[in-house]
Amino acid sequence: MTILHLRRARTSLVLDARGPGLPRVVHWGGDVGDLDDDGLRQLVDATVPPVVPSSFDEPPVLSLLPEASAGWSGRPGLAGHRDGRDWSTSFRLDGLDVRDDGPGAALLTVRASDPAAGLTLTSEIMLDPHGLLTVRHRLRNDGDTAYELRELTPVLPVPAVATELLDLTGRWCRERSPQRHRWQQGAWVREGRHGRTGHDATLLLVAGTAGFGFGHGEVWGVHTAWSGDHVTFAERRPTGESTLGGGELLTPGEIRLGPGESYESPLLYAVWSDTGLDGLSDVLHTHLRARPGHPRSPRPVTLNVWEAVYFDHDLDRLRALADRAAQIGVERFVLDDGWFRGRRDDTAGLGDWYVDEGVWPDGLQPLIDHVTGQGLQFGLWVEPEMVNPDSDLFRAHPDWLLAVPGRLPPSWRNQQVLDLGRPEAYDHVRDRLHALLTEHPGISYLKWDQNRDLTEAGHHGHPGVHGQTLAVYRLFDELRSLHPDLEIESCSSGGARVDLAILARTDRVWASDCNDALERLSIQRWTGLLLPPELIGTHIGPERSHTTNRVHDLGFRAATALFGHHGIEWDIASISTDEQTELAAWVALHKRLRPLLHAGRVVRVDHPDPAVWAHGVIDHDGTRAVYAVARLATSPTPYPGPVRLPGLDPDRRYRVRPASGVPAPVSIDRSAPGRLAGGVVLSGAALARMGVQLPALHPEQSLVLEVDAVD
């Protein structure tokens, strides 16, 4: 056939399709230049590994779907069988199509078949105008009998210069914890078996050159866009090949393709940068912001009343909260858990999506009217995928559970999972939500929660996670079609369902149930590796965190929540007048900076003192920026050294000053930011290379800096 070279935004993908089998992946990463046919041929030939003693007579071929028949002895791209047969494939190339797909994107379709195994493979590879690569496989069973699929996973090569791996793990209230180590021989495999993305899911699995950081180093990252069981892996073979890949993690017997049936793998997102982790984020953020369905209106400052009232719903108290919210500058009011029948605590009521007449004798409309009458949007909490055994729905339909016949899965938060793969269960949930939204047109936002893993998830006696995940996607899509102006937040015990497949159907994620500002600094920093700030819910919690019991002043909490989809999770009706005034000032600051925060380029600072974290957002035209510098703990020295402010135009001069309108933190010498108060003017080059000496903040204090070009 030919040699294919896709190029976009300094990124290249080179495929050698000259052989009869699947194309060999020659290169994915930095742009290799504008090469003619002869140049491409020489480049490809120069990368063919030599034949070494005691090995294959021909070098193994690493394709997008590695096969043992091509000499590949690493992790296979396809695993499956037909009653013990057709377990190994040898696909032959049937055709290639390259075409433009939207503004600036290139789409390559590879068609191949293995008549002996009775299988047809279609691979779609897109390189978007920002340099983001996506890969997906589709497998069709052309045989006369069923084919059991175990794995269908895209794989991409990474060069040997990538010697370190970074991924994320976590737990409830401590999502997105980074872990990093040398990349040695063998496989580093991250499997999620939660039936949802999981608190411990790695948003990106990153391979990079030694010592890479936020602003330096060459890095390659992959993300598996799937909200059910999934796998993401890095493998380094003793023969020298290094690969990254990811796909759905299938339970035995979960996918049995009948004659003529097909399976499509989740999208694997792949991104490369030679400017460190911030370069990866820049590509991903730009891609997400270019989506047709990306939120376009200003992200409303949100008050969620959970930590204010919990299950104690009282109309007068909630009206008072709405009044105070409007005074402070809040734009959306969200009524959380506890509004529906029998829901006085978390042991009962899930599944009974009817307004509780005992608590709301006149329904929700009086509160909705009061909230919207104040000029606020109204939102509501739901958890449609779950059911309490103590509920009318469970008592009427105990067979509607996602479970193995004859027993219940272990209880989790007193709830079980509804099997949405059952048409009657799916229709019931869809119809109740549709009725709720139709009867209350003032509801413009749903906080959609999902508070447990899918454990022993059976559907009619067979594994059910795959079908449940697709049913949930369909439910989101159908409700959005019925109510096109509805916005939805993905909340799942906090941040347990954060991935690009769920975000194709929702407008933001709740990053964590933890509103402790110190914990949130890390959670938000690493969630931002994948997502831009406007997709991450960041709220100001109470002075004493209800998840850690740690106490923080308002300035630290507010500065942490500033950089995201801003909100409040606090009983603001009971706070002092001074706190009201300061909170309103922080809300006003966020609104003033919101056009920059929700459209600019995110940077994170590689500071040598681990007790000092800094990050910022820079306007794409280089005229403005905002940074926050946080002191996490004490340091060996009283002053941590100048803090660099990267990402600005090196040839322009900028004035750096503390953010106006909000109180400045107090430093160790009890002074305000001192010489910075009137602003310091330096070039972008000086700010990036030398930085500015900031006040020595007390631990758990933050300073917000506004930066404006002066010429």
Residues with a catalytic annotation lie at 449, 513
Per-residue tokens: 336: 């959380």
Instruction: List the one residue out of 267, 34, 313, 316 whose CA is nearest residue 152.
Output: 267
Asked if residue 10 lies in contact with residue 100, where contact means CB atoms within 8 angstroms, the answer is: no
Among 634, 642, 650, which Cα is nearest to 690's?
642
Q: What is the 3-state secondary structure (H, E, C) of 177-192?
A: EEEEEECCCEEEEEEE
Q: What is the dihedral of CA 89, 95, 96, 99, to 10 degrees?
A: -130
694/353 Cα distance (integer angstroms): 53
Give dist(CA 236, CA 352) in Å, integer: 51
Q: How many CA atoms lie within 13 A of 575 on its CB side?
A: 24
Residue 680, CA distances (Å) to 72, 257, 673 in order:
59, 66, 12
Closest CA to 566 of 605, 537, 599, 601: 537
DSSP summary character for residue 341: T
- Cα separation, 285 vs 282, whole angstroms: 5
Integer Cα distance of 216 and 646 in angstroms: 11
SS3 content of the chain, % helix, strand, coil (to 5): 20, 30, 45
Find, among 124, 109, 66, 120, the residue nearest to 245 by Cα: 66
572: region left, alpha or beta (phi > 0 left; psi from -120 to 50 alpha): alpha
CA angle 43, 47, 51 (to 5 degrees): 145
To which H or E segment does residue 366 belong? helix 365-373
Identity of the amino acid at 698: H
Q: Closest Cα to residue 194, out of 538, 518, 470, 456?
A: 456
- How is the beta sheet containing 186-192 ordered, strand by strand? 155-157, 242-248, 230-236, 186-192
Phi, psi of 269 (to 5 degrees): -90, 135
Of 438, 437, 418, 414, the C-alpha closest to 427 is 418
Burial class of residue 291 in the structure, from the number of CB atoms within 10 Å of its CB (0-12 exposed, 13-18 middle, 19+ buried): exposed
CB 181 within 8 A of CB 475: no
Which 8-state DSSP code applies to residue 415?
B
Task: Tell me which amino acid residue 249 is.
Answer: L
Question: How many Å apart are CA 141 and CA 145, to the nearest integer?
Answer: 9
Compute the distance between CA of residue 99 and CA of residue 110 in angstroms, rounded to an integer.
Answer: 12
State the greatest distance between any 2 C-alpha atoms of the chain, in Å, as a whole number: 83
Residue pair 200/169 in contact by the 8 Å Cβ criterion: yes
Cα gap 126→270, rounded to integer Å: 10
In angstroms, the CA 333 to CA 563 distance is 20
> How far, in Å, CA of 454 to CA of 91, rounded?
36
Name the residue type at position 102.
G
Task: Spell out the residues 6+ positions from residue 413 whose beta carbon is closer than 8 angstroms to its own.
Answer: 346, 451, 452
Can you tell me the distance from the alpha carbon of 139 to that of 123, in angstroms, rounded to the nearest whole number? 9
